Amino acid sequence: MSTVFRTFLVVFSLVSGVCGTERLRGIAISKLSFYDPSRLFTCLDGSATIDFDSVNDDYCDCEDGTDEPGTPACSRGQFHCTNAGHRPQYIPSSRVNDGICDCCDTTDEYSGLVQCTNNCKDLGAVEREERRREREKQQQGYEMRLEYSQTGKEKKQDRQTMVEELKTELDKIRQEAEKLEEIKKTAEGQADAAKQEHIDKWKAEQEAIEKKKADEAFTQLDTDSDGMLVLSEFQSKTEFDSNGDGTVDAEEILEFTKNNTQVEYDSFYPDIWNEIKRVFPPPAPQETDNVPPTDTPPADIEDAQPPETPSEEPEEEKGDENKRDEIDNADESEHGDDDDDDEDDDDEDDDEEYNDNGGEEKPVESPELEGMPSFSDETQALIDAASKAAEEHGKVDQEKSEKERELRDVENELSVDLGPDEEFFPLQGHCYEYTEREYTYKLCPFDKVSQRSKHGGSETSLGSWGKWNGESNKYDGMLYDNGEKCWNGPARSASISIKCGITNELVSSSEPNRCEYAMVFHTPAACRHLEHDEL
């Protein structure tokens, strides 16, 4: 007998149950060669070798259960359902003859305890129809994927072209900005120098006026005209009665003289005039044009002495003068040491006119510069030129910043991996939501994932775009991490499973572990070409 014919008889007998092999149930045709009734049986894991009569004898001899495929004797045994007309399958041998029909061809319930109906053909027809529809959907999705890919490649090329154009534009803008910055610096330097010259000149004039006031006050206080002020000369002036008791004592005077019992002319102005003028200002000087600085006492004073006060002045005139001093003191206490109100009003009008002209504000915010006259036409022209140069530079500098930001955004978009054929491009810049009982979840591909309560409130970040993290194919999954931290827990994260679908749709969300979310997203970008019936 030839080997081929002998093998045929073995297969035939095993399938048909002839030659006493009716017990050999639950064996797949692909494994029939291991079950040869003419020889000993070796367990498929090699754990033992037994007589063939011990196969399917309802006693487990092999650790892997391969000697009892058709009985429930082995806990690890597997029963094969042929299920002709439908899908073959394996079930645990423990389900054999348990009174429940597991195989659609009824072969697992051969004891006769229950009557099963062979419905493999009907089930196979339903499954084949489902597979046909799934294949059509897969094919439709794949065709959409090709369109996505074509669009993505075109947009990528557009972005690359845009990058080059933006770089060229940015180079020109930067050159122009550098040129205008030099012009601005030069104009501002000229304007600042002219303004400072104006301020210095005005301060010198004010210094001269103030020095003249101090000289006049010294003359009034130096009643013996010896160029030295002593306590008795101060005490003769009721203005120094700071406590208002009608008497000017030495302690009150020393507060003004900084504890000096004698004050010489040379130290009067630099050392104590600022204290003295608070209560003893001289009569307001007459207005003069361009009062020059006064750095020295009057020429007729020898050895740095103040001018002598005429001793022949009538007492009545002195009294009138004291009254005038008191009136002047009262007026100056209310209005300060500035010039008359008309001049102040004129200065305010000048400031408003100057500010309306678009120039920089005149530096009168400091009290020491209050009352300063307006800048000359020449200085104002330099200020206006500096302001215009700064404005022009500012516009170009802003344009440069906008172009830099635009370039950075496009380069960031280009750096994102949108698939081997750019097929995920249509998802970029869009968001998709899924709502369940309590929350609405939002997925913005390549950006972020979040959730919000259906009852209101702000969004909670579940993570920002991290990377592709599919297992067999990296483009089958997305990872979003570094979301908001859970209370007393880790930062939230979300893993997105990418499946083929004819629409872009977030279809489910769950939280398998605390603060770790799992979602499923359907998109045509995940549909691949089927060479054969891969379904």
CA distance 228 to 234: 11
Question: Stretch 504-514: mean pLDDT, rounded?
Answer: 96
Question: Stretch 382-408: mean pLDDT, rounded?
Answer: 96
| Predicted pLDDT at 286 | 55
Question: Stretch 489-496: mean pLDDT, rounded?
Answer: 95
Q: Are residues 406 and 445 in the same domain?
A: no
Residue 144 within a domain: no
Give φ, ψ of 107 to 5 degrees: -70, -15
Q: Per-residue pLDDT for 23 more than 60?
A: no
HEC string of 63-102?
A: CCCCCCCCCCCCCCCEEEECCCCCCCEEEEHHHCCCCCCC
Confidence of residue 197 (pLDDT cuts 50, 70, 90): very high
List Cβ neighbours of 227 (8 Å cut-off, separation of 6 or more).
Answer: 264, 265, 301, 303, 304, 305, 306
Cα 399 to Cα 171, 179, 492, distances in angstroms = 12, 15, 39
| Joined tokens for residue 418 | 């949108």
| Predicted pLDDT at 529 | 80
Looking up tokens 């009034």 gives 220
Q: Are residues 61 and 170 in the same domain?
A: no
What is the extent of the structural domain holding 30? 1-118
Confidence of residue 287 (pLDDT cuts 50, 70, 90): low
Q: Are residues 181 and 97 in the same domain?
A: no
Q: Are residues 233 and 258 in the same domain?
A: yes
Q: Residue 457 belongs to a domain with what CATH number?
A: 2.70.130.10
Domain count across the chain? 3
Q: Are residues 410 and 352 in the same domain?
A: yes
Q: Per-residue pLDDT for 165 more than 80?
A: yes
Q: Are residues 451 and 302 in the same domain?
A: no
Cα 414 to Cα 165, 214, 407, 423, 428, distances in angstroms = 15, 76, 11, 14, 11
| Predicted pLDDT at 201 | 93
Count of CB atoms situated within 10 Å of the CB of 80: 22
pLDDT tens digits for 53-93?
999 999 999 999 999 998 999 988 999 999 999 999 999 99
| Predicted pLDDT at 281 | 77
List Cβ neighbours of 68 (8 Å cut-off, separation of 6 or more).
Answer: 55, 56, 57, 58, 59, 60, 61, 62, 74, 77, 93
Q: Per-residue pLDDT for 357 more than 80?
A: no
Q: Are residues 380 and 452 in the same domain?
A: no
Q: Per-residue pLDDT for 262 more than 50?
A: yes
Confidence of residue 3 (pLDDT cuts 50, 70, 90): very low
Q: Are residues 367 and 433 in the same domain?
A: no
Q: Per-residue pLDDT for 511 more than 60?
A: yes
| Predicted pLDDT at 16 | 40
Residue 126 within a domain: no
Of 231-235, 278-282, 385-389, 394-398, which gets the smallest average pLDDT? 278-282
